[in-house]
Amino acid sequence: MKKYLFLVTTALLFLALSTAAMAQITIVPAEGDRTEGSYPEAVPDMPTFSPRSGPPATLTVGNGCTYATIASAIAAANPGDTLMLEGTRTFTENITILKDLTLQGGYSGCVSGSSARTTIKADDAKSVVDIRNSAVTLRNLHITGGNAIGGGVDIDSGSALSSQATLDNVRIAGNTGSWGAGLYVGSRSIVTLINGTRIEYNTATFGGGGARVWGRLVVNSVSGGITHNTAPNGGGVSVPGGVLEMRPGHVGNNQATAAEGRGGGIHVLDGGEIILTHSSNVYQNSASLGGGIFAENSKVTLNNSQVLYNTATFNGGGINLSEPSVLDVLNHSVIAGNHALGNAGLNGNGGGIMAYGTNTINISDTRLRENIAGDFGKGGAIHQNNGTLTIAYSYLHHNSAYYGGAIYQTGVSASANVSNCLIHHNTVIHPLGAGIRRQNGDFTISHTTLADNVGGAGFSGVATSATNSIAWGNGGNLGFVSSPVHASCNIDNSGNAGANSDPLFVSPGAGQDYHLQAGSPAIDACSSGLSSDLDNLPRPIGSRYDMGPYELYYEHTVGAGIAPPGGGTVTGTGSHMAGSTVTLNASANPGYVFVNWTEGNQVVSCSASYSFRLMSDRTLRANFSQVQSQYTITGAASPANYGSVAGSGPYNNGAYVTMTAQPNQGFALSNWIETWPGLTGHCVVSTDEQYSFTAIRNRNLTANVRPKTLPGVLMLLLDE
C-alpha cells in the first residue's frame, strides 16, 4: 500500500513541477502556421459568452455616453452588438475584440455632437486594435500610434484562428511594427476594405509597411487605397502565401527601403497571389527590384488594371518576376511610364517588366508604353530571361532601352510568341533591336507590324518563325536583320524575311496609324492566318488574309424601304464595317402586320429580325400587310399528283387555322412553304403534316411532298 501511495504522490509531484515549468516556457505561436522573425505574440484565451435573448443592442461610448472607454463597452457587449463611438474624440487605449461586434465612430449623440471620424490611439506599444476569431466591422475610425505586428490592426497573427473583418471608411495611419505596420491578416482570415478606407504613412521594420497578408485582403474602394507606407520589402503590401485582391483598389507612393528591397508597392512570395481588376492601379512606388510589384514563386493577374510610373533602382521598373512565377495581363490593362534606373552602368533591365528564370508571362489586349530601361539596360517594355512569353492583341510603343527597345530576350530555354501586335516608336541607344532583340531562345512572330522604331532594326537576331508580318521604316530601314529560320508571307525592308515593298500604311510616323490602305501589297497576301485582328474584327475578308495586325475593312451601306409606306418602321440601317454582322429589325405600326424581307424580288427572310454578314452594299424592303376583317388562306400540294391539302378557304381575322397535308400512299410531307405572287424565293414554315396558325393576313401555302424511301428497296414511281 505504501508503494502505491509513493507512486501516486510522485506522479502528482511530477505533474505539478511540469506545470510550473511549462509556465516559465515562452511558446512561440505559429503566425499563419509560421513565425515572423523574433516578434511572437501570444494568442489570448478565448472566453465563452452567454447569448443575449432579444435583438442586438447599441452601446454608446464617450463623454456623456453610457461607457467612458471602448474597452469597458466591449467587455459589456454581447456578440452582434454595435458600439457607437463619440465623433471627433480621441480614445487613447489598446483594444482587443474577441466577439462579433461593430465599432462605429462619428457618433454625434455624446458631448462633442460631432459626426467626424473617431480616433483610437495606442496607449501602449501594442496593436491599436487586436481582433481574434471574430466577425468585426470597423467604421468611421482613425487608427494610429500602434507599434507591433499589425501595429494598427492585428487580425489573428501567430494563430490558426479565423476572423472576418470589414473596414468601412477607416484611416490606418502613423503606425509602426515589425510586420504589417498598418494591418496584419492572419492565414485563415479575410479582411475587406470599403468606402474610402486608407492605409497610409505606416512603417514596418521587416515587411509590409501598409499590410502583411497571410490570409485574404480584398480592397473594394475607388477612393481609398494603400499609400505612402515604407518597409525594407513590400513597402505597401507584403503577401507571403496569401491573396491580395483589388476590385478596384490602389497601391501608390510606397517604398521598399532595403538596399536590395523588393516590391515598392507589393511584394508577393511563397505561392501568394495578386488579383487586380476593375481599373485598379499600382503607381509611383519605388524599390531596388520591382518598383511596383515583385513576385517570387507567385501569381500576378492584371485584368483591366494599370501599373504606372513606378521606379526600380536596379531591375523591373514596373514588375519584377523571380522564378517560378506567373504573370497574366489582359483586358485593356496598361503598363506605362515605369523606369528601371540601373546602378553605375549595371542592371536597369526591364523598364516595364523584368522576368528572370522559368517564369510564364501571358499578355493580351494590353498597352505597354513609355517604359524605360536604364542607360545600359535591356528591354524597355519587357526583359525576359529563360522564361515563356506570349503576347497577343497588344500595343508596345514609345519604350526605350540600350538593347531591345520594346522586348529583349535571352537565355537558351527562353521562348516567345508575339501575334497580332503593333510595335512602333520604340528606341534603342545601341543599334540592336529597336523593336525586338532576340539574343537566345525561340522567338515566333506572326501578324505583327514593327514600324518606325528608332536607333536600330525592327527585329535583331534570328527569329524562329516570322509569318504574316511587316517590318518597315525602322532605324536604318532595317526590318529583320537576319533571315528567320522559317519565314512566309512577310514584308521586310531588309528583304530577309519577305518582299521589300511599301505596305502603304494609312498614316505612319507621327500619324501612328498602321492600318493598310486600299492597294497595299499586304492585302489578301496570305493563305492562312489568325481568326481575328487587332481591332477584334474577324479574319479573313474573303478567302485570304492580310499581313500585319490589321485586316483591311471597308464600310458598306445598308438601306431599307417600307411597303406600303406607313406600314411600319425599321432599325439597323446605315454604314457598317464589311464582314460585320448586321441586324435589321422591322416593327409593324398599328393596323399592320409584318410579312417578310425582300431584296429586289427575292424573299430573304420571314423573321422581323433579320441578321446577315455584310459583304457589300445592300438595299432591302420590309413588307407589311394591312389588317382586314377576313383573309384568304390557300393551300396546294406539290407535285399536285403526290397528294392534296385540306383547310383552304376564307377565315375571319384572328381565327385559328389548321392546314392538313394529305400525301398519297407511298408519299410523305417534306415541308410547308409560303410564297408570294410576283416574288421569288420562299420561307419554310413547318415540317408537320398539320400546320396551325392564327389568321392575320392572306397566305399562300404549299405542301411539298416526296416519295417515301424504304430501306433496301428501290421504288420506281411512274406518273399515270
Residue 495 to residue 540: CA distance in whole angstroms? 25
- Grid cell 505539478 is found at 16
**Distance (Å, rounded) from C-alpha 393 to C-alpha 17?**
72
Contact at 8 Å (CB) between 614 and 583?
A: no
pLDDT for 80 equals 97
Asked if residues 160 and 133 have their Cβ atoms less than 8 Å apart, the reply is no
Cβ-contact 145, 175 below 8 angstroms: yes
Q: Where are the domains of the chain?
A: 555-626, 630-707
Of 32-46, 105-119, 216-230, 502-516, where does mean pLDDT reach its minimum?
32-46
Q: What is the pLDDT of residue 578?
A: 80
Instruction: Please return the burial class of 69, using the count of CB atoms within 10 Å of its CB with bins 0-12, 13-18 and 19+.
Output: middle
With bands split at pLDDT 50, 70 and 90, how would you rate the model's confidence at 36? Answer: low
Is residue 199 a contact partner of residue 219, using CB atoms and an 8 Å limit? no
Tell me the residue type at 419: S
Which pLDDT value is given to residue 553?
84
On average, the pLDDT of the chain sits at 91
Kindly report, residue by residue over 194-225, the tens digit of the pLDDT. Answer: 999 999 999 999 999 999 999 999 999 988 89
Taking residue 165's Cβ as centre, other Cβ atoms within 10 Å add up to 23
pLDDT (0 to 100) of residue 189: 97
Confidence (pLDDT) at 54: 56
Cell of 679: 416574288
Residue with cell string 463619440: 86
The predicted model gives 422-440 an average pLDDT of 96
Closest CA to 346 of 372, 320, 377: 377
Q: Given this model, what pLDDT does residue 555 score?
A: 85
Provide the pLDDT for residue 55.
83
Over range 122-139, report the average pLDDT.
96
pLDDT at 369 over 70: yes
Cα–Cα distance for residue pair 73/105, rounded to 1 Å: 14
Say what the pLDDT of residue 127 is: 97
Q: What is the pLDDT of residue 535?
A: 94
Higher pLDDT pick, 688 / 19: 688
Which of these, 120, 104, 106, 116, lies nearest to 172 by C-alpha position? 120
List the beta strands (DSSP E) in 639-688.
Answer: 643-646, 649-652, 656-663, 667-674, 683-686
Please tell me whether residue 399 adopts helix, strand or coil conformation.
coil
pTM of the model: 0.79
Following CA atoms 296, 302, 306, 309 in sequence, which dihedral angle do they give, to the nearest 10 degrees?
Answer: 10
For the chain, the straight-line distance linking the first and the last C-alpha, in angstroms and rounded, comes to 125
* Segment 457-506, tens digit of pLDDT: 999 999 999 999 999 999 999 999 999 999 999 999 999 999 999 999 99
- The pLDDT-based confidence of 347 (bands split at 50, 70, 90) is confident
Q: Which three cell numbers stand for residue 451?
A: 514600324
pLDDT: which is higher, 328 or 4? 328
Closest to 349 (Cα-Cα) out of 373, 368, 385: 373
What does the angle CA 680 – CA 684 – CA 685 come to, to the nearest 5 degrees?
A: 125
Average pLDDT (74-94) is 97
pLDDT at 158 (0 to 100): 86
606-660 pLDDT, tens digit each:
999 999 988 889 999 999 999 999 999 999 999 999 999 999 999 999 999 999 9
DSSP secondary structure, 114-172, as one string: --SPEEEE-SSSS-SEEE-SSEEEEESEEEE--BSTTSSEEESTTS----EEEEES-EE
Q: Which of 230, 239, 183, 188 is nearest to 209 (CA)?
A: 230
78 contact partners, CB below 8 Å, separation of at least 6: 49, 50, 51, 52, 56, 57, 99
Tell me the C-alpha distance between 650 and 632, whole Å: 5
Phi, psi (degrees; rounded to nearest 5) at 3: -60, -45
Q: Round to whole Å and give the CA distance between 457 and 480.
A: 7
Query: Is it the case that residue 299 has pLDDT exceeding 80?
Result: yes
Name which of 308, 356, 298 is nearest 328 in CA terms: 298
Neighbour-count burial for 445-465, b at 16+ CB within 10 Å, e otherwise: bbbbbbbbbbbbbbbbbebbb
pLDDT of residue 23: 31
For residue 467, which of 538, 385, 522 has the smallest C-alpha distance? 522
| 633 C-beta neighbours (distance < 10 Å), count | 19
Tell me how far apart the alpha carbons of residues 237 and 226 are, in angstroms, rounded to a whole number.
Answer: 8
pLDDT confidence of residue 22? 30
